[in-house]
Structure 1
Amino acid sequence: MAILLNLETATTNCSVSIAKDGELIVLKEHDSSNYSHAEQLHIFIEEALQEASLSSKDIDAIAVSKGPGSYTGLRIGVSAAKGLCFSLDVPLISIATLESMAHQVVLEENTVIIPVLDARRMEVYSTVFNASYSEIRETRAEIIDENSFSKYVENGKVIIAGNGAEKCKDILTHLNFEFNTSVVPSAKEMAKLSYQKYQNKDFEDVAYFEPYYLKDFVMQQKKVK
């Protein structure tokens, strides 16, 4: 039996789940545009443990969403995960944010899903998965234009899922595109993915692991009046 704690902080959704052998026991999450992760994450962890009637000593591994996503959100999640791993002496598992997003959507045969997270201006973070949720194109930061993802609509339906889908609606006009803006990264979908990695002993080096930012952090400068 394996009890895993999953942390998702890559976007505005602060999300914590506890799963037993890949089956969800407790989910605590709150999606706020104010990025409440610093205040809420450890509270959610404590509440989730209480609801599951567990203590931190019962945790066998910590899984964290590794990105891409918000620089600050990822830092908070990974720092918390690493701190727990060190204090509890348990392994660290990383889950690709876009992969867990893909698993929120039930796919028909010959369907492609492209989870997209909003980046700057007309840019998104994206990865392409087939109907078996296998990655068929690597993660990229890319500017959306009328030719984006055009090769995939030739063979059937393509689902664009995530908060970046809003940018794509007016530009990607092929009838095989379908848009789902309700998909938000959540620790719920991490439950099965982290357990698979736990079984395979696919662990990270706690001391050296860093989030997958994909792009360098750029601090926004205030305009001088």
Structure 2
Amino acid sequence: MSLILQIETATTACSVAIASQNEILAVKELNQRNIHAEVITVFIEEVFASLKMQYVDIDAVAVSSGPGSYTGLRIGVSTAKGLCYALDKPLIAVETLQAMANGMANSINDEDLLLCPMIDARRMEVYTALFDGKGNRLQPTTAEIIDEHSFASVLEQQKVLFFGDGAAKCQEVLGKWSNARFETDFINSAKHLSKGAFEAFSSQKFEDVAYFEPFYLKDFIAGKKA
């Protein structure tokens, strides 16, 4: 039985899980801004302790690779790479929006409903992509500034579920469409990485631990000090 340590830090949520092929064995998570650096290693220690496992017992480390928070991604990827290097384990990258789509697809039973995960960026901008109800990608990941014309060609024809921490701010604009649905309570979780992680593990699709970098999508823009 393969075991994968899964790490999610791309948004406000800091989440760690250990999974087997078809089961989440342990998970520890907290949805709170700017706490990733403080709790990530503690959460990892706690999930191993809860299962009475050693670090060497895992077969790989999977990390949510972005897009998302620049700082959060740096913390998650750096932690994952450090573990892989120290333990001589392979590194798996799971694109964050794909993981979100997989997580939502597992919780709904409507294959006709398109899935549109949204990660909050600046102002009315989100990182987003479009998937079918099974989590299969229909459109590539992009940074979109949302207005009343966004997704118009899709919303004219099909129901779309918008979710993630970028969905709430878009509800007033996109909610005018009768086919628009919103799930604003969705929280990114390391549990959602399982499908992508085990598919990559099965096909031996691993990252170069030395050179792998997060998928930022856009350059980092530092905010002004108050």
Same fold (TM over 0.5): yes
| CA–CA separation in structure 2 for the residues paired with 1:109 and 1:129 | 10
Confirm or deny that 1:6 pairs with 2:9.
Answer: no
Deviation at 1:222, TM superposition (A): 2.5
Q: Which residue type is aligned with residue 208 of structure 1?
A: Y
Q: Which residue type is aligned with residue 92 of structure 2?
A: I
Q: Which residue type is aligned with residue 170 of structure 2?
A: C
Give the corresponding residue for 1:184: 187
| CA–CA separation in structure 2 for the residues paired with 1:67 and 1:13 | 13
Residue range with higher mean Cα deviation, 104-113 or 24-33? 104-113
- Gapped runs of 5+ residues in structure 2? none
| CA–CA separation in structure 2 for the residues paired with 1:90 and 1:139 | 28
Q: Deviations over 1:48-87 (max 9, x none)?
A: 0011121001010000000111000000000000000011
Q: Deviations over 1:9-63 (max 9, x none)?
A: 0111110000112411001001112x11111000000000011121001010000
* Aligned pairs, number: 222
Give 1:141's match in structure 2, choosing from 143, 146, 155.
Answer: 143
Deviation at 1:183, TM superposition (A): 1.3
Segments ≥4 residues shifted beyond 4 Å: none
Q: Please list, as runs of the form range in 1=range in 2, the aligned pairs for 1:125-204 lying within 5 A after superposition.
A: 125-172=127-174, 173-204=176-207
- Gapped runs of 5+ residues in structure 1? none
Give the corresponding residue for 2:17: 17
Provide TM-score, normalisation by structure 1.
0.95
Q: Which residue type is aligned with residue 15 of structure 1?
A: S
Give the corresponding residue for 1:87: 86
Give the corresponding residue for 1:102: 101
Q: Deviations over 1:169-212 (max 9, x none)?
A: 11111100001111121101112321111111111111111000
Identity within the alignment, %: 48
Give the corresponding residue for 1:211: 214
Secondary structure at 1:170 match in 2: helix
Secondary structure at 1:155 match in 2: coil
| CA–CA separation in structure 2 for the residues paired with 1:111 and 1:63 | 28
| CA–CA separation in structure 2 for the residues paired with 1:130 and 1:45 | 33
| CA–CA separation in structure 1 for the residues paired with 2:22 and 2:68 | 24
Deviation at 1:107, TM superposition (A): 4.5
| CA–CA separation in structure 2 for the residues paired with 1:22 and 1:65 | 19
After superposition, the Cα gap between the structure-2 partners of 1:107 and 1:124, relative to the gap in structure 1 and judged at 3 Å, is farther
User: Are the equivalent residues in 2 in contact too, given 1:26–1:48 (CA < 8 A)?
Assistant: yes
